[in-house]
Structure 1
């Protein structure tokens, strides 16, 4: 029998137990520090008791007030500055309590760290949920202010993106116990699992642009070359991300109505953003409204207001750095392949995404729930980052996945405490296909290969890749394979060479003025190559617009035959003056305009949607002259990415094209989802199903800068 109010009494008892236990242990810790730490002295018996009480007041009351002013110090030092400020507080306490000696700031910081660590340990020991305390305090503040309830509001939705997690990897992780939160949601029947198929460009830029804005046309890769501007677009560039959003937003994105974007590439027209790439270059001026971003406190304040959080994250980051170094050493010692170089700054960058950014994003989401925002979209990037360098299902990648699962479980518990009811929808933007990096496997990068075939030998054939000094002597066998490939043994390569010998090429197009290089590096005069995971794009800058197959045959007769015969190339898309878009493979070709296939269809290994997805990209204004997809081996479920990755994505072939969608069982079940724009329509439909209003198109004078 459930006793009314028993839950509140139990929670109140845990809070009181925590306060008493922290106080008692803090007294003991201060006594130990007095005996152990040089420069710290409390000669009287009563001083530790009083100082522990004052430190508790400092942490719970004074520190949050100080942080409102000093928050940038905490943020820009990744929490270390928090302890410098707390150390200053300990110094102030030593001045206030007669007889207490703290000789310098360094000693005070050690004392502050020790006492803050006690708070974190005790919270775990008594099973206290910090999120519960946060919401309870907030509820009391709302009650005092007489805030209206949220009873008539439709439920909010948290869209939680696990970057790079393919549906097959998810199923195995759930089966093997690596994602217990997901397993519980599925086992209880509260959620269902669905699959969605990405666009040809299976990477975060195209997927998230389509998911959030309902339009990802002309987003060809994570980076691509635009001939008309002689510029390489990169989704990781704030200016380019803002330009991509400007082109695709109509002001009615998924988050346009009281939404928040946390840790994303694009905003989805959300009014509240943090750690979102396209919102970084704020634009103002005539005819534009300056996009409003959340103040510095968004997400950060709720996180750093508890000194134990900064310590917990700092320790977690150190542990993750150690895990990364250990994993890299173990791979090298065991001779694991495929693998890539993982030294330099990468261990620290990895800790930034897997621990620090993750924790701040979770705090921002909790703040959004407290504020009752209608929809939140957040990206957990850590698994994708580690999968690139370690592998799709290797032990340290799965460890990161387990940590993300714990955070999603934390958010799921928080939805039960928020002032508004919330649903959780988890999804991925794409999967990952594993393989030995192209440059490591074949001795030269795709950029160097195209440059050499265009008559420009490369001084560093592995340019763009990280050389692995541990490569074995098996490379000579690869050299033999390449020598056979260059002889044109495949039927399509022979057909292409026959065309060149017969002189069956179209007249040259007029060249641009000299083809002078701009900001995009050339691998050969007038040739730009950009790699994006399993997709590479070659453009010929001496010709405006799309260069046709016949012109390429005339100017670079060895390029197409050698590419289609290369063991690392699956297929090449090129535009023909005679046949329109043509997909070339080693053993066959596919004319997309008519559906005619000669020989073996090169698109068969890439699934039933491949032809439609490739045809769509062929119509994009900035489609490259040659679109090169890596070769996928279905038997081994692997492909060699054109970037120095182990797990990778960006093209067609294998798990990279198959994302997941975990949604509440009460939501309308989606039909087959092909493409990020289709997924946007599903998510938008769910918001409508819950009673959320459709976003209205902003008036021209109020369109956000990112949507003009």
Structure 2
């Protein structure tokens, strides 16, 4: 499948030479300008500028990639800054060797490197020099040689998840030009758009478990408390590597969406992929030095391809600095205008935000380009930047929409890359959930949900100076950043001597690290954990599920106080007499037989609410008391139990309105309710294309179809499908 000689190849070679010449001239012009502008850099003759530009090109094209083979973890750990420092050191050592060139110190060398790189990037953009095309063609030729026998006519598929982007916001972004790539696909008729309804736990952990593995039962929230037989439990958190690995062990049967030599990039779970990077559930395999299917030669995707080009580092550094400044300006503008709702966005967040919106995004895209050029049959990647910024800024505000615009540009890059792949590819864009906006519960009502529960249980909560602070709550101190955590773990497992030293140091740190304290305890026997618009209350001195009757006897003011609270929409509690019971201010709903007393507390939460709530009630680790925030359909507003502006994790509003944008010729997914149903839709599409079908089996421990749903996942009654899987001997990194 290599290119045959001919006029087309000569034309491409001529274009490549012209691009090289233009970039060389741009670098030469930059060095001439720097000669005049910098006191510590001087050129004695006209020929030295083009000679130094050529030397820079050789460093970038030959020496730099070889250096990255040895020191790649340094670049990863420092998010590219360490890589630039190494390049600066090389320039400081080599430029003075050129006769007549004076370079005084490291600072002057840094100015030369940054100035030249920025100029080259700017000139390339002005002259429409497509650096992507150069990279794609070179990498594509190498990939074709590697996979000459892999030329499958079966199309590959890229599933691109835009984390937290709800269907209403997507429609606005397409309509107003924020996402022109997706708008063009829909306008040209190459793709169709459909919505899907999330589970009650509208968050990435539940959604990705269902989408990637076909099962998400017992994923109660983003975090939840598990009781043990001895009455001593633990808090599970979807973004914790150990907990994510345990969740995957429970839900995976080895035939996930990506099991056929697929790739997973930037996800919480592997989907049983053979090739992974920035994947949280696989981190324990790396940090324990275990083998399985996660090997060091399969986790470096994206890192080397990205950092091997120093211009990428400069481009990302500039974009990251711009993102920091944008965050500071936008936060200040909100404060001056007293925009509501809002949270305080200080601390480390402005510095950490670019890690999610820029750096992790670009590394994920580089990994996907490698997957495409290697001809891998299927890949799934998560772009988390919009979700993170919308939490802090709001779901339709300018800085959140600017993140969507940047993600759309990266989707456009991937669309160009697939044209050079050794097999045809289709692109599917989807979301795992949306977000519902509103003022944080603690800001609107004067106390967080945990303190409210403790007070209603007649425990005196510890005084907190923040309770009397009139300013909005401070947002999370750092970005969600599970991709960063995975990147840090993976960096030490990359190849090379530096990686070996880092692995040894990491093992020492792990042996001496203490266990973290369990969060959420608001009283001696009460744990309250927040998952966006859901709060999960567990009474730790009771084994098993605590009944409504027990709560009324031991904490008589708790349930009346909660249902009468203006920020609470409904409660789920188990009654010894009536079974699962949903309580609201003006009525009760018996889930077992549908009996209503007064007004239905689930009425404002959609036609699927009763089935989704009943499903959670059946989970082994369902909390003793599940609290959903109140949703106002007139204002399209709800108050999250966490300090967020845009939030999700419960029922109510656009947080439950996710989307899937798919090639127009594919089968209509119909009405899809729940992530497990969406998994079956995606699996059906892959099977229709000719990908291997692991089969739909009905024996114990395997997939079963839920009543009212067909193989494509068409849902008619709001219930998701469930199956029981024996967890023994399953490798969480598979």
TM-score of the superposed pair, with normalisation by structure 2: 0.85
Larger-gyration structure (1/2): 1
Query: Is contact 1:590-1:597 (8 Å) kept?
Result: yes
Q: How many residues align?
A: 657
Query: Is contact 1:341-1:466 (8 Å) kept?
Result: no
Displacement of 1:153 in angstroms is 3.8
How big is the alpha-carbon RMSD for the aligned residues of Structure 1 and Structure 2? 2.6
1:615–1:142 CA distance, 2 compared to 1 (3 A) = closer
Aligned position for 2:164:
164
Displacement of 1:294 in angstroms is 4.7
Residue deviations 1:270-294 (CA, integer Å, cap 9, x gap): 1111111111111799998363355
Q: Which whole-Å CA distance do the structure 1 matches of 2:465 and 2:689 have between them?
A: 53
Residue deviations 1:44-74 (CA, integer Å, cap 9, x gap): 3322222222222221222212221121222
Is it true that 1:234 corresponds to 2:233 in the alignment?
Answer: no
Aligned position for 1:639:
638
Aligned position for 1:502:
none
Secondary structure of the corresponding residue to residue 538 of structure 2: strand
Secondary structure of the corresponding residue to residue 673 of structure 1: coil
Q: Which whole-Å CA distance do the structure 2 matches of 1:612 and 1:257 have between them?
A: 33
Displacement of 1:468 in angstroms is 5.3
Q: Which whole-Å CA distance do the structure 1 matches of 2:260 and 2:191 have between them?
A: 25
Secondary structure of the corresponding residue to residue 538 of structure 1: strand
Matches of residues 65-80 of structure 1 in structure 2 within 5 Å? Answer: 65-80=66-81
Displacement of 1:149 in angstroms is 5.1
Is it true that 1:706 corresponds to 2:706 in the alignment?
Answer: no
Query: Is contact 1:430-1:658 (8 Å) kept?
Result: yes
Q: Which whole-Å CA distance do the structure 2 matches of 1:300 and 1:284 have between them?
A: 18
1:443–1:111 CA distance, 2 compared to 1 (3 A) = same
Displacement of 1:120 in angstroms is 1.4
Structure 1, unpaired ranges of 5+ = 472-516
Displacement of 1:563 in angstroms is 0.4
Q: Which whole-Å CA distance do the structure 2 matches of 1:109 and 1:103 have between them?
A: 11
Q: Which whole-Å CA distance do the structure 2 matches of 1:146 and 1:29 have between them?
A: 38
Displacement of 1:18 in angstroms is 2.5
Is it true that 1:519 corresponds to 2:521 in the alignment?
Answer: no
Aligned position for 1:195:
195
Residue deviations 1:283-333 (CA, integer Å, cap 9, x gap): 799998363355563201111121111111111111111111111111111
Please identify, of 265-274 and 289-298, the stretch whose mean Cα deviation from structure 2 is larger: 289-298
Aligned position for 1:596:
595
Displacement of 1:359 in angstroms is 0.8
Aligned position for 1:181:
181
Query: Is contact 2:223-2:530 (8 Å) kept?
Result: yes
Is it true that 1:252 corresponds to 2:278 in the alignment?
Answer: no
Please identify, of 689-698 and 418-427, the stretch whose mean Cα deviation from structure 2 is larger: 689-698
Q: Which whole-Å CA distance do the structure 2 matches of 1:193 and 1:667 have between them?
A: 11
Matches of residues 242-641 of structure 1 in structure 2 within 5 Å? Answer: 242-282=245-285, 289=292, 291-292=294-295, 294=297, 297-460=300-463, 469=471, 519-641=518-640
1:19–1:218 CA distance, 2 compared to 1 (3 A) = same
Secondary structure of the corresponding residue to residue 41 of structure 1: strand
TM-score of the superposed pair, with normalisation by structure 1: 0.88
Aligned position for 2:713:
none
Q: Which whole-Å CA distance do the structure 1 matches of 2:608 and 2:668 have between them?
A: 21
Q: Which whole-Å CA distance do the structure 1 matches of 2:289 and 2:27 have between them?
A: 58
Secondary structure of the corresponding residue to residue 674 of structure 1: coil
Displacement of 1:98 in angstroms is 2.2
Q: Which whole-Å CA distance do the structure 1 matches of 2:468 and 2:187 have between them?
A: 43
Secondary structure of the corresponding residue to residue 220 of structure 1: coil
Secondary structure of the corresponding residue to residue 393 of structure 1: coil
Displacement of 1:37 in angstroms is 1.8
Secondary structure of the corresponding residue to residue 436 of structure 1: coil
Residue deviations 1:127-167 (CA, integer Å, cap 9, x gap): 22223212321343356x57525443411110000000110
Q: Which whole-Å CA distance do the structure 2 matches of 1:433 and 1:462 have between them?
A: 29
Displacement of 1:680 in angstroms is 0.4
1:182–1:146 CA distance, 2 compared to 1 (3 A) = closer
Query: Is contact 1:436-1:646 (8 Å) kept?
Result: yes
Secondary structure of the corresponding residue to residue 152 of structure 2: coil
Secondary structure of the corresponding residue to residue 74 of structure 1: helix
Residue deviations 1:548-605 (CA, integer Å, cap 9, x gap): 0001000000000010010000000000010000000000000001110010000110
Secondary structure of the corresponding residue to residue 571 of structure 1: strand
Displacement of 1:40 in angstroms is 2.1
Displacement of 1:106 in angstroms is 2.5
Q: Which whole-Å CA distance do the structure 2 matches of 1:94 and 1:675 have between them?
A: 60
Q: Which whole-Å CA distance do the structure 1 matches of 2:101 and 2:611 have between them?
A: 76
Is it true that 1:87 corresponds to 2:88 in the alignment?
Answer: yes
Secondary structure of the corresponding residue to residue 522 of structure 2: coil
Secondary structure of the corresponding residue to residue 589 of structure 1: strand
